[in-house]
Chain A
Amino acid sequence: MRKYYLFFKLRFAAGIQYRMAAVTALTTQMVWGLMECLAYKAIAESSGNMPMDYSAVVSYIWLKEALLALFNTWAADNDIFGMILNGDISYELCRPLSVYSMWFSRTAGGRISEALLRCIPVLACAFLMPYPYKMGLPVSAGAFLLFLLTAVLGLGVTIAFCMLVYILCFFTISPQGWRMALTGAVDFLSGNIIPLPFFPDKYLRIAQLLPFAYMQNIPFRIYCGDLAAAAIPSAIAGQVFWFAALTLAGLLLWKKAEKRVVVQGG
Chain B
Amino acid sequence: MGIIMRIWKSIILYLRYASICVRSAMQYKLSFLLMIIGRFIIAFNEFIAIKFLFSGFEEIKGYSYGDVLLCFSIVQMSFTLSELFGNGFKVFSGMIKRGDFDRILLRPCSPILQIIGNHFEIGRTGPMITAVITLVIGIRTCSVSWNAAAFFTLALMIAGGALLFIGLFMLGAGLCFFSIEDTSIINVLTYGAKSHGKYPIDVYGRGILRFCTYIIPYTLFQYYPLQYLLGRTTQWRLAFYPLGIVVFLALCYAVWRIGVHNYKSCGA
Contacts and interface: CB of A to CB of B under 8 A. Distances in A.
A20 B49 CA distance: 33
Nearest to A49: B56
A47 interface: yes
A176 interface: yes
The DSSP consensus for interface residues of chain A is helix
Given A24-B184, A35-B204, A193-B45, A42 B37 contact: no
Interface string B185-202: 101100010011001000
Contact of A39 (B181, B182, B203): B203
Contacts of B48: 188
The DSSP consensus for interface residues of chain B is helix
A37 to B, nearest CB: 10
B58 interface: yes
Contact of B188 (A27, A49, A177): A27
Interface in A176-194: 176-181, 184-185, 187-188, 193-194
Contacts of A38: 203-205, 208
Interface in B1-51: 28, 30-31, 33-39, 41-42, 45-46, 48-49
Nearest to B30: A174
A24 B182 contact: yes
B55 interface: yes
B214 interface: no
Nearest to A36: B196
Contact of B196 (A16, A35, A45, A178): A35
Interface of A: 16-17, 20-21, 23-24, 27-28, 31-32, 35-36, 38-39, 41-43, 45-47, 49-51, 173-174, 176-181, 184-185, 187-188, 193-194, 198-200, 203
